[in-house]
Amino acid sequence: MTSSIGQKFETVIGLEVHLQLNTKTKIFCGCANLFGAEPNSLTCPVCLGLPGTLPVLNKAALLSAIKVALALNCSVNPRVKFDRKNYYYPDLPKGYQISQYDLPIAEHGFVMIPVPEGTKKINVKRAHLEEDAGKLVHDMVAHSSLVDYNRTGTPLIEIVTEPDLRSSQEAYDYLNILKLTLQYLNVSDCDMEKGSLRCDANISLREKGSTQLGTKTELKNLNSFRAVKASLEFEVHRQEQLLLAGERIVQETRLWNDEKQMTLSMRSKEEAHDYRYFPEPDLVPFTIDQATIEKVRESLPELPAAKFDRLRKQYQLSDYDAGIIIQDQTIADFFEKCTQHSQEIKKICNWIIGPLLQEINSRKTGLAELSLKPQDLTTLIQRVEEGVLSNLSAKEVFALMVETGQTPDAIIKDKGLAQVSDDSALEGIVQSVIGENQSVVEQIKQGKDSAIGFLVGQAMKKSQGKGNPKKFGELIKRRLQDG
């Protein structure tokens, strides 16, 4: 369901995602495939498109593409063929892009997304391999544009859905699941800020009940999933207003303006025949043998959806907990390693979802960069269980574990954080708290049991967090009964 659309129309969306593959070298030459290098330092006659040079397909890019194909439940076309897509642009030195036209590497796949009724299948029409273009830099030198060919020839896989998405929310959910799946495959850093993952959105409306597709617009310049969602919402509204006024939708490409939060017409949409596609004569078609495809299939990791189901079943995690844990493979692995040392599943989960993710987010790093061992976390949990640590001190110990990589026991000892549980040490504190809070004591004596919590809090403060709150509670009660 979309927020703005009324009763009359249904929203129809199809997404095209371009993903840069993280191969060591480019797709048709030996240049390094790196982001952020000195402009034009990673080029050669092949990727600059100089006459007389010939492309050679990078096998690693092909294997990554097969990986993506299988993970998206596509059938892999064993016959590999490339085509030239002809157009002129300053960032495209050859005057054509090597892509795949009528025989993409992958077809007929699907991705399952969550919907209020359960899950929904979003069909993947095709995924094909192609080369990226260079990059124009417009605002560095006044009145001119500069071109950087480092990106030229970066391997891309383009993943195209059928027009199966019915709302901006579904589009957003699809993108998140797709990205997570691609991250699991480790074929790309999937970083939208670097342009490693880019999305174009196609959208049309049609009258409810109609099975024909309406005229679509294609939205570009979408720099985040949030922008995809916002631009689709804007476009639903715009198209709806036009159709209600009896006007036609113009088939065109529109650019999202993030500042103005609106789409603006860029150009009329080009058709496939405008590109004069023809088979790439410099790359002879060849066949991938089935054994290669099977080998790639065996190398696939457990994918997010499967991990989600397994974690829920194996550890009785809630959908919420499992959903967060699977957002990062290293976190999921860490969680499972912890469970080998401790049966306190829910506590492990809470520590990971709470303090651990907070540390990771605030440090803007990954779990791998923190020197935290699964067994140290489970020991920490155990020390709280044993009453050695208060919850408060445990948080402090945890922060130090992350900071220093020391074991919890070493930190507890170093910092003298062990909870004081023996009665004599706590008695003195209880006595002074009672002395200082006579009015509260009166209330308790008159039956207001909840006020005991206040005294426990005061005692904890006095002990600088080292007292055992349960013990304090007992001692306070005993003393009030006696006195």
User: In sequence order, what are the residues at sequence separation of 6 or more whose Cβ sits closer than 8 angstroms to the Cβ of residue 49?
Assistant: 93, 94, 95
Q: Out of ligand ADP, Zn ion, none, which partner does residue 70 contact, by CB within 5 to 8 A per kind?
A: none
CB of 202 to ligand ADP, least distance (A): 3
> Which CB, 252 or 333, lies closer to ligand ADP?
252
216 belongs to the binding site for ligand ADP (CB under 6 A): yes
Strand partners for 148: 135
Beta strand 262-268 with 79-80 is unpaired
Q: For tokens 């004069």, what's the residue? A: 276
Residue from 213, 284, 368, 425 that binds ligand ADP (CB under 6 A)?
A: 213
Of residues 9, 15, 127, the one with CA closest to residue 61: 127
Residues 63-92 that bind Zn ion (CB under 5 A): none
| CA atoms of 482 and 478, how far apart (whole Å) | 6
> Which CB, 19 or 46, lies closer to ligand ADP?
19
202 belongs to the binding site for ligand ADP (CB under 6 A): yes
Residue with the shortest CB distance to ligand ADP:
14
CB of 19 to ligand ADP, least distance (A): 15
Of residues 45, 37, 38, 107, the one with CA closest to residue 78: 107
Q: For tokens 């191969």, what's the residue? A: 23
Instruction: State the sign of the Cα–Cα–Cα–Cα dihedral 336, 342, 344, 349.
Output: negative
Which stretch, 55-63, 202-210, 312-320, 424-432, contacts ligand ADP (CB under 6 A)? Answer: 202-210
CB of 153 to ligand ADP, least distance (A): 23
Binding mask 15-54 for Zn ion (x = CB under 5 A): --------------x-x------------x-xx-------
Residue from 64, 97, 161, 463 that binds ligand ADP (CB under 6 A)?
A: 161
Binding mask 254-283 for ligand ADP (x = CB under 6 A): ------------------x-----------
Q: Are 149 and 48 in contact (CB under 8 A)?
A: yes
Q: Which amino acid is at 347?
A: K
| 40-76 burial code (b ≥16 CB/10 A, e <16) | eebbeebbbbeeeeebebbebbbbbbbbbbbbbbbeb
Q: Out of Zn ion, ligand ADP, none, which partner does residue 44 contact, by CB within 5 to 8 A per kind?
A: Zn ion
* CA distances (Å), origin 357, targets 49, 182, 303, 318, 354: 46, 21, 21, 18, 6
159 belongs to the binding site for Zn ion (CB under 5 A): no
Residues that bind ligand ADP (CB under 6 A): 12-16, 160-163, 202-204, 213-214, 216, 272
